[in-house]
């Protein structure tokens, strides 16, 4: 390998490390910008459609943003109220958990000395209050998201015109093709993921209500939100309701078994049977790419980054597919099923 290629290779690695450091340190700016960009994929077609119907861009943008702000504010306030209710009820559950744990220790003939030195009540209560503060911070950051979204939506009807003025006709057509492909796939993914997550949360809420589990609506909403995180989200969402069912219904373990089996059936049915049939090869991302993206963006931006990991990875892949020198990277990021089908067709 030529020395120039070594220089380019290591320069690229250094640039990636520096980019990650910048994204992590400046998450307060980049995270709202990325969220606004993803929502613009959903809302820009609506604004463009209204613009073609001679509705002023200002009115169409204002209507879309008012609906968006109302939904986000209502959802944030609802979750904050439910978390504060959990904080208030936590001491009662902690007492019952102590009884349950003492019974387990006595049944297994274990020494409870180490448990007596652990004070879970202050720790968990503090975490719940921290989560409540996170939600209120989310509502504050919503202002910055809306600020970015306003400018993105106002400029949406004129984007094609700006491409024609800035680029040659061939390059402008290629750029429009790339942006429309990204917009179409991301919009489709977000909409379908929203519907599937809502269905998962609804059925989970129905299961919890049938069992009589406390805070059934809260756990249903939590299931809906965490279902956006690929692979790990559904597992994380199942932990709190299962633990609460053990504490609430002790010494009867029947409801806990029903909750566990019910969640397993709901998540496996929707995740492994319904989702692949609806999604198909829409994103065409390798499971390894999804996992790496989940870990990387989750480390950079926390839970919000984990939720955004798949749309970001899909955007990078689509861009690579449409840029000549980066096409090999786009192929490596794909799931491989499409190329396997093509290979089998050629063999037959």
Residue 127: predicted pLDDT: 56
Residue 219: predicted pLDDT: 86
Q: One digit per residue, pLDDT tens: the chain, 348 residues?
A: 566 666 777 777 787 778 878 888 877 778 888 888 888 877 877 777 777 777 777 787 888 888 888 887 777 777 777 777 777 777 777 667 666 666 666 666 555 555 555 555 455 555 555 555 555 556 667 778 888 888 888 877 777 777 778 777 787 787 787 777 777 777 777 778 888 888 998 999 999 899 888 888 888 888 888 887 777 778 888 888 888 888 877 777 788 888 889 888 888 888 777 776 666 555 677 778 888 888 888 888 877 788 788 878 877 887 777 677 777 877 777 776 666 666 566 666
> Which residues fall within 8 angstroms of residue 97, CB to CB, at 6 or more apart?
120, 247
The residue behind tokens 């996992």 is 291
Other Cβ atoms closer than 10 A to 299: 12
Residue 276: predicted pLDDT: 67
| Residue 156 DSSP one-character state | G
Last residue in a domain, options 157, 175, 192: 157
Q: Is residue 3 part of a domain?
A: no
Last residue in a domain, options 259, 282, 305: 282
Asked if 138 and 37 sit in the same domain, the reply is yes
Q: Is residue 7 part of a domain?
A: no
Phi and psi for 212 in degrees, rounded to 5? 90, 25
Asked if 223 and 189 sit in the same domain, the reply is yes
Residues belonging to the chain: 348
Asked if 259 and 141 sit in the same domain, the reply is no
Q: How far apart (Å, rounded) are the C-alpha atoms in residues 48 and 152?
A: 12
Residue 202: predicted pLDDT: 92
Asked if 148 and 57 sit in the same domain, the reply is yes
Asked if 191 and 112 sit in the same domain, the reply is no
Q: Is residue 176 part of a domain?
A: no
> Which residues fall within 8 angstroms of residue 200, CB to CB, at 6 or more apart?
223, 224, 227, 234, 266, 267, 270, 271
The residue behind tokens 């204002």 is 62
Residue 182: predicted pLDDT: 73
Peptide bond into 232 cis (omega under 30): no
Residue 203: predicted pLDDT: 92
SS3 call for 283: coil
Asked if 230 and 316 sit in the same domain, the reply is no
| Residue 336 DSSP one-character state | S
The residue behind tokens 């994204």 is 23
Other Cβ atoms closer than 10 A to 89: 12
Q: How far apart (Å, rounded) are the C-alpha atoms in residues 187 and 311?
A: 9
> What is the separation of C-alpha 341 from the centre of its chain, rounded to a whole number of angstroms?
30
Q: Is residue 20 part of a domain?
A: no
The residue behind tokens 């220089």 is 7
Domain count, the chain: 3
Residue 228: predicted pLDDT: 78
Could you tell me the residue range of the domain that residue 123 belongs to?
28-157
**Measured CA distances, 2 to 8, 11, 96, 325 (Å):** 10, 14, 68, 19
Asked if 275 and 329 sit in the same domain, the reply is no
Asked if 252 and 301 sit in the same domain, the reply is no
Q: Is residue 319 part of a domain?
A: yes
Asked if 227 and 195 sit in the same domain, the reply is yes
Asked if 57 and 148 sit in the same domain, the reply is yes
């Amino acid at each position: 390998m030529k020395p120039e290629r070594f220089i380019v290779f290591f320069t690229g690695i250094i640039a990636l490390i520096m980019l990650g450091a910048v994204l992590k340190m400046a998450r307060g700016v980049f995270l709202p910008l990325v969220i606004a960009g993803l929502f613009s994929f959903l809302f820009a077609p609506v604004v463009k459609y209204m613009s073609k119907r001679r509705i002023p861009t200002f009115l169409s943008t204002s209507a879309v943003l008012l609906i968006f702000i109302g939904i986000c504010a209502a959802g944030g306030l609802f979750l904050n109220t439910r978390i504060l209710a959990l904080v208030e009820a936590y001491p009662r559950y902690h007492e019952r958990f102590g009884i349950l744990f003492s019974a387990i220790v006595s049944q297994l003939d274990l020494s409870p000395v180490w448990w007596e030195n652990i004070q879970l009540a202050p720790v968990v209560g503090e975490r719940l209050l921290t989560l409540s503060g996170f939600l209120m911070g989310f509502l504050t950051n919503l202002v910055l998201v809306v600020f970015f979204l306003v400018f993105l939506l106002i400029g949406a009807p004129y984007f094609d015109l700006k491409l024609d003025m800035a680029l040659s006709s061939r390059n402008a057509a290629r750029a429009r093709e790339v942006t429309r492909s990204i917009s179409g796939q991301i919009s489709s993914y977000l909409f379908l993921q929203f519907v599937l997550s809502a269905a998962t949360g609804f059925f989970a809420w129905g299961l919890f209500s049938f069992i009589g589990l406390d805070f059934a609506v809260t756990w249903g909403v939590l299931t809906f939100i965490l279902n956006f995180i690929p692979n790990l989200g559904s597992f994380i969402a199942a932990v709190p309701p299962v633990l609460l069912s053990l504490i609430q219904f002790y010494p009867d373990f029947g409801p806990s078994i029903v909750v566990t089996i019910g969640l397993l059936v709901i998540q496996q049915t929707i995740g492994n049977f319904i989702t692949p049939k609806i999604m198909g090869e829409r994103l065409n991302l390798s499971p390894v790419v999804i996992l790496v993206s989940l870990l990387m963006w989750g480390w950079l931006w926390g839970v919000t980054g984990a939720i955004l990991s798949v749309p970001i990875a899909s955007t990078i892949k689509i861009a690579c597919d449409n840029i000549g020198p980066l096409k090999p990277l786009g192929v490596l990021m794909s799931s491989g099923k499409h190329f396997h089908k093509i290979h089998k067709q050629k063999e037959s």
